[in-house]
Structure 1
């Protein structure tokens, strides 16, 4: 009986122990089964992208070899797989790419790696830029706020898709002579730079508004009275209080950048042959769907699952930070 009473007292004390906002957020998130499942799917995609070389090694194939040339019996005279369902069999699990005769599974795995790397790099750069400029505009006010706000208005006035298509070749030409073949890493850098330029403004505007509502609060005034520098106030007082909108918005930004990068490759101004990429696979599928609709199935399903999972994860993170929400 004494042991049971001590256990009950310990349990009651643990319930009364104060929890940090992060702990409360994590506790609410764990109760959201949809959010946890979406997080598992997202982690699975990142694991696939990270382990793409290992998967290729275990599978015994790579995304660049034209297996249709090595074994001409795999493709017919028009360049399409001879076997049904796009050439799916025990050797080529997802079939063969029409015309080129490359393995679809390794193309998809490396395509996930390319798309996620670009989107992750853009998301990090855009988030850091938005944090610096958004919080600076909201806290410093005056001329700083006016200049940064007008810059945001100017960049948000650009039609994004048209800007991407028009300026990506220009940015690429800054790194390499247009008469020469553009290396893959130059194309990656160009896509990242162009998406970054027009990818930070929405979050910066959100953080500016959040900072405006925080800068006159008592804890900020107390930090000023104590003699803290503006940099210390921003770093110690304001930044921890804008983690919630930053994290939520970031979970929406990354899948948006994935689809945008794929759209650029689809239009022919992003990643090109022979680099594996989701958008380039869609472009090939759009050309051959009448003769081989199976090829479009795998990248299409993969992108739909990834985008839906990341959006559900964003909703769950938002609800976890906001206990008043009822989704």
Structure 2
């Protein structure tokens, strides 16, 4: 594969060089300054979440340390700017006096875990179902399509709200997990269950188009097996929409976890997630708005960054884009 440096040198020399689709997409993505900044923010947030214990140790902060002595009678930190200082970069949380930055970092670990696992499961199921329906067509496609339509007809949000308590109780009674572990399993399973039909429709449409291409027809004429056609011919050509869907689904599920935790049907205290922090902040929004603004602003920044990365990837991978 020709490296980017060699391509640039050859371009300056006036030579005509070939570029792979991956190189073209990367060059188009690099020209999108907003996408590059958003990608840097997204990678930084993920790394901070993964290495939260190390970051907190370096900064000398701990999410479990209480600072009750600096709280007034209303539970608000009785310090300038809510306790924001070198010791506590984002201040202290009202009610408990814990370090807000440490709670955001540790809370993001659970939020990202739910979002990443849900996205992975959604993509896996949607990819399999979409390829099966689009490649085999006929009755198989009809049965799969009707089942997908059936799931799309359900109001997913209200189904999750209604089934939360009984399903969590069933998971606990079965001995699979207890407490927040059962709630995490419930969220991942049901968000994936109602999330894959839309992605399968996208994959199906792509496979229906790819199935009629010359390279697939040539592989069939040469006697290639269905397994080889699916894994060697179709799947490598589906990576572009998969990447875009990943970049857009991840922030969506991140926000969904925060919403359900905020509503009290997701992760519960004493665990910490961004949804729980938002729920706690609303009680102090009038007397201590910093807590709400910092927590909500962090969630908005991360979701916006991932969405901008998804838009940039879509533009970079779309040959008809003018960017």
TM-score computed with the length of structure 2 as normaliser: 0.91
* Residue in structure 2 matching 1:273, options 245, 269, 272: 269
CA offsets per residue over residues 62-82 of structure 1, 9 Å max, x none? 2233331xxxx2111232211
What residue number does 1:3 align with? none
1:53 CA displacement: 0.6
* Residue in structure 2 matching 1:318, options 298, 314, 320: 314
Mapping for residues 1-327 of structure 1, pairs under 5 Å = 15-68=15-68, 73-177=69-173, 182-326=178-322
1:183 CA displacement: 3.1
Q: Distance in 2 between matches of 1:79 and 1:162?
A: 35
Question: What's the secondary structure of 2:94's corresponding residue?
Answer: coil
User: Is there any run of 5+ residues in structure 1 with no aligned partner, and where?
Assistant: 1-7
Runs of 4+ in structure 1 over 6 Å off: none
Q: 1:304 to 1:221 in 2, by over 3 A?
A: same
User: Is there any run of 5+ residues in structure 2 with no aligned partner, and where?
Assistant: 1-7
Contact 1:265 1:271 in 2 (8 A): yes
Q: Distance in 2 between matches of 1:228 and 1:270?
A: 48
What residue number does 1:5 align with? none
CA offsets per residue over residues 53-111 of structure 1, 9 Å max, x none? 1112223332233331xxxx211123221113323234322222211222211111112
Q: Distance in 2 between matches of 1:167 and 1:34?
A: 40
Contact 1:167 1:194 in 2 (8 A): no
1:11 CA displacement: 5.2
Question: What's the secondary structure of 2:19's corresponding residue?
Answer: coil
Contact 1:164 1:264 in 2 (8 A): no
Aligned Cα root-mean-square deviation (Å) = 2.1
Q: Distance in 1 between matches of 2:253 and 2:80?
A: 35
